[in-house]
Structure 1
Amino acid sequence: MKALTVRQPWAFAIAALGKSVENRTWNTHYRGLLAIHAGSRWDSDEAVRRVGELTGVTIVTTDTAAIVAVVDLVSVHNSATCIRPVEERHEHDDGPFTCSRWAIGSRVDNGMHHWVLGTRRQLAYPIACKGRQGLWDLPAYVEADVLAQISTTAGLRYGSPSDLINPEETP
């Protein structure tokens, strides 16, 4: 299984808060299951503030240096081609009418790639693992633990973003 290291609070936002787009400066042709690895370092205070603005959740502490979720990477598109039907558009500070409130970049600034994340499975028990840059392969023993957790409902904290009735009450 492929994995992607994402700094906190973004990894938590993917795992538990329904973050549907991961912004990257590079493209990938990979599609399929993608393990989300919470990096050992946190992003800026501004990132924590931004997640709070988008979700109403203030993240103080959460897992790091561990696999925290598995998502389906369903597509990737350049921000310059990020056009969606009116009912699916979101207008926000990062640019009008992008594919998601989580998306950054615009039709003018085409340096970003929006990795569109489908079904998400947050692990009930994060699995300690050293991360890497870029897309990387999980070690076999970590992959086995991840697959064991996602194969049962007992291994899930939440099944989908709609399961989060009140995000302010999530752990």
Structure 2
Amino acid sequence: MKFIIIFAIILLVILMKVLSLREPWATLIKDKKKFIETRSWKTNYRGELYIHASITKIDKSTRERGDLLDLLGTEEFLYGYIICKCTLVDCVYMTQEYVDDMKNNHYQEYICGEYKEGRYAWILKDIEPLREPINAKGKLGIWNYYDKFEY
């Protein structure tokens, strides 16, 4: 009697849309203290988006900002890791009225971005920190990360 043993490995490839940010901005999103990412360019993409903390260290002027230090506490940064996922739900063109409203009515959000007329506000919802951050090399723009899982 012959026994044939078949081993099957199912390879699942997961595509993730990722945006790399410098610290402390990536961590502020992960910690749900920042819900709008400000950019000089617009995107038509909507949907699940992962946030990657780039390897670029925090510059001196950012480290010296007391308003940000209060938000961050003693947080350690995971440079070079995908640290959370969220949903990108909108991309809003900033008018002067929008900028003024953010400054006057949403000050915490305002200090966490570059709010200027002509820029774009990427609105993020459903932010979830990853249980196990993923080491990855960042890229410019929204980029694709492929992760493989074996079962």
Identify whether the pair has TM-score above 0.5, normalized to the shorter chain: yes
| TM-score bracket for this pair, using the shorter chain length | 0.7 to 0.9
CA contact (8 A) 1:82 1:98 kept: no
CA contact (8 A) 2:82 2:134 kept: yes
Given the two structures, how large is their TM-score scaled by the length of structure 1? 0.65
- For residues 1-171 of structure 1, the aligned pairs below 5 Å read 1-48=16-63, 49=65, 50-53=67-70, 55=71, 57-59=73-75, 61-80=76-95, 83=98, 89-91=101-103, 96-97=104-105, 100-101=109-110, 102-106=112-116, 109-110=117-118, 112-141=119-148
Cα gap change, 1:56 to 1:64, in 2 (>3 Å) = closer
CA contact (8 A) 2:85 2:128 kept: yes
Report SS of the residue matched to 2:134: strand
Q: Paired residues, what number?
A: 130
CA contact (8 A) 2:51 2:82 kept: yes
Let me know the Cα RMSD of the aligned residues.
2.6
Cα gap change, 1:98 to 1:25, in 2 (>3 Å) = farther
Unaligned stretches of 5+ residues in structure 1: 145-171
Which protein has the bigger strand share?
2
CA distance in 2, matches of 1:3, 1:79: 23
Name the amino acid aligned to 1:52. Answer: L
Identity, % of aligned positions: 26
Spell out structure 1 runs of 4+ moving beyond 3 A. Answer: 81-84, 96-100
Unaligned stretches of 5+ residues in structure 2: 1-15
- 1:10-54 per-position Cα deviation (integer Å, ceiling 9, x unaligned): 11111014211111111100001001011011232333425225x
Name the amino acid aligned to 1:104. Answer: E
Report SS of the residue matched to 2:82: strand
- 1:88-111 per-position Cα deviation (integer Å, ceiling 9, x unaligned): x543xxxx45694334324xx32x
Cα gap change, 1:66 to 1:82, in 2 (>3 Å) = farther
